A and B are shown apart, each in its own frame.
Chain A
Amino acid sequence: MMPAAVAEPMNTGTPLDKDASQADLLRSARFRMEREAHWRRLDALVTRAEKGGIISLSYDETRDLVEQYRQAMNSLSVARDISLDRALVAYLESLCSRAYLVVYAPQESLGGLMGRLLTRGIPQAVRRSALPLFIGFLALLLGMAAGYRLFIEDASWFYTFVPPDLADMRTPEASANYLRSTIYGDERHEGSRLAAFSSSLFSHNTRIAILIFALGIFLAVPSFVLTFYNGLVLGAFFGMFAQKGLGYDLFAWLSIHGVTELAAIAIACAGGARLGLAILLPGRRTRRAALRHEAHDAVKLVILAGLMLIAAAFIEGFLRQLVQSPILRLTIGWGMGLFWLGWLLFSGREKKIRRGRS
């Protein structure tokens, strides 16, 4: 049995009008003619869904979309087999890919995302990251100890560690009185000036934190080094003030924001360490799969670091200048520390226990 279209080129009849010649057409052309209206309908629906999201479609239209999508997929599979019209197959391929994305990969809903992250996601991620957090804080503390020791042995190390713009006249040669004046706000700032200061602090510190995190991908070493270096600067600074008998005052001055800020840096380093550890010790997974898996917690650690840096910048910009008493500074600083610790240790607990038992 021959398909009707096969006999067609042999008869050289005059061309008829379009409807009558349909029977004459190639099988693939007829196939297209019968279904084209459906495809156009799907095309219109998909275009609308791409522009305004699936929400912009009504109930009936959404049902229609799914139906037309199945039909178009069917058409695609047939067209790949029977049609040599490249334009047709290309059209169906692209239409079906677009419809596929609309149907199977729509926009994720963002409602409640922040709430979930704060109450469960971040604290749980932190509790799962004991080893990376240890690495992060270790890097910072080792850096501080090394910076302090080196400075005590030879004060010229200070110039090696501390970049001049950061030191800003606070060098080992400066008098104790000058150093004291930098701690107890003789730098008169108005409120708006403080805001500018804290916003630039936040922007700068967050950038550093993201960099520390992202560098973790190179086997965690650069993250560690950068955090260690931050500790080194701090240690040298502390050594300098301590030599002048201002250790306690500096400790209070640093504590008010530093507890939050330095913890944030160490946490960002822990995020980087998670990435680096995934590549170094992937376990039974492939390295790429391990990286993808570890990234879930690592990214949450960075978000936490970002939040803490916002708080730290606010404290550093405003409160550090406004609060002058060392006792109060210590209370605020370590109080914040306790607050972070409490949140991270106890929030979202019940769920974890339930999951652990099941």
Chain B
Amino acid sequence: MTKKRTRKSGPRIEQFVPPEGVPVNFTIATLGSRLGAQLLDLIITYLIVFICAAGLFYGGMLPVEAETVLIVLLAFLFRIPYYIISELVWNGRTLGKRIAGIRVININGRRLTPHQVTARNLMKEVEFFTPLTMVFAAAAMSNWGIALLLAWVLAITIVPLANRRRQRLGDMVAGTLVVNNPRSVLLPDLVVASAASVPEAEMFDFLPEHLDIYGTYELQTLEEVLRDPARRAVTAEIESIARAIVRKIGYTDPVKSGQELAFLSAFYKAQREHLEKLRLFGTRREDKFHHAEGANADTAADPVKS
């Protein structure tokens, strides 16, 4: 069915069912944010090595040999060991991942073990560091070398693109996933907020047939508009939305100019109430195409409408 078009392109979800029996969802991190986190880590670590080197060089406190030892060890430490240690200490988050808002979790939803952290980061050598170094050395390579390098890079980039969870080779070896770190912000309830801020909203009445047009998708799109202060401020957009809704639902009472926002708030409240009531009685109305889905859904909803 083409109806489900909006679901297909959405973020990929990994679901865990804890013993409580209520599934919790995690969004698989996009490859862009993962690459961003990796580059950030690379920049941060090399910046630290560079600063240390500069500090030692200008400080001149230590003999040259001791400085070399320090720099060599530091440069080594900031390759694989940095990722292992930071993911161990911060439970799956390196500095770059923290900034990018992603984290590593165990694929079975339980705690991340040291083994997994080590395994996934050891594979980084073959997936990231060595190809990266070789790309810089590509100018001096023979054609065969370049072809090999290309095949290598292709192989390691195809892997995360080809599986649904976007696991790279290291993730597969270790059994880990990279997900977006959930961030929770509780926005005020629009129904409560609008009652306080837009008192004229009480002026509008809606009949059941007005509320039978739209479904959840349209309701939540309206919610997005009403929640966005930038879009609320644009009167032209609010007006056009209000006019479109009035026309579509066949609302007959006049909506005076300047009262569009109040109308939308009132409509949001009434529509949400209506749909939530339908839901309680077992009718889920996903979007405005519910009429086209056949008579079955409508007859089921009928007794509730009255």
Which A residues have a C-beta under 8 Å from some C-beta of B?
A: 3, 5-6, 8-10, 12-15, 18, 21, 25-29, 32-33, 36, 39-40, 43, 70, 73-74, 76-77, 81-88, 91, 93-98, 100-101, 103-108, 110, 113, 190, 192-193, 195-196, 199-200, 202-203, 206-207, 210-211, 213-215, 217-218, 275, 288, 291-292, 295-296, 298-299, 302-303
> Could you tell me the dominant secondary structure of chain B's interface residues?
helix
Using A192-B66, A214-B123 as known contacts, say yes or no to A9 and B20 having CB atoms under 8 A apart: no
Interface pair A195/B66, CB less than 8 Å apart: yes
Interface residue B56 (Cβ < 8 Å from any Cβ of A):
no
Interface pair A105/B202, CB less than 8 Å apart: no
Interface residue B26 (Cβ < 8 Å from any Cβ of A):
yes
Interface pair A87/B223, CB less than 8 Å apart: yes
Residue among A6, A14, A18 with most chain B CB within 10 A = A6
Per the bound structure, the CA–CA distance linking A102 and B260 in Å amounts to 45
Interface pair B25/A210, CB less than 8 Å apart: no
Interface pair A107/B76, CB less than 8 Å apart: no
Closest to B75 in A: A203
Per the bound structure, the CA–CA distance linking A83 and B33 in Å amounts to 31
Interface pair B270/A9, CB less than 8 Å apart: yes
Shortest distance in angstroms between B101's beta carbon and chain A's nearest beta carbon? 12
Shortest distance in angstroms between B270's beta carbon and chain A's nearest beta carbon? 5
Which B residues have a C-beta under 8 Å from some C-beta of A?
A: 16, 18, 20, 22, 24-26, 63, 65-66, 68-69, 72-73, 75-76, 79-80, 88, 91, 105-106, 109-115, 118-119, 122-127, 130, 155, 169, 172-175, 182-187, 189-192, 195-196, 199, 202-203, 205-206, 216, 219-220, 223-224, 227, 269-270, 272-273, 275-277, 279-280
Using A217-B169, A299-B118 as known contacts, say yes or no to A85 and B190 having CB atoms under 8 A apart: yes
Interface pair A199/B69, CB less than 8 Å apart: yes
Which residues in B have their C-beta under 8 angstroms from that of A214?
122-127
Per the bound structure, the CA–CA distance linking A105 and B113 in Å amounts to 10
Interface pair B185/A91, CB less than 8 Å apart: yes
> Could you tell me the dominant secondary structure of chain A's interface residues?
helix
- Count how many pairs of residues, one from A and one from B, have CB atoms less than 8 Å apart in the complex: 201
Using A95-B184, A104-B110, A108-B113 as known contacts, say yes or no to A210 and B125 having CB atoms under 8 A apart: yes
Q: Rank and list the top 5 A-B pairs by shortest CB-CB distance, nearest first.
A: A214-B126, A192-B65, A94-B182, A203-B76, A94-B184
Contact of A29 among B88, B184, B191, B279 (CB under 8 A): B191
A-B CB contact pairs (8 Å), 7 listed: A3-B277, A9-B205, A9-B206, A81-B279, A87-B227, A106-B111, A192-B65
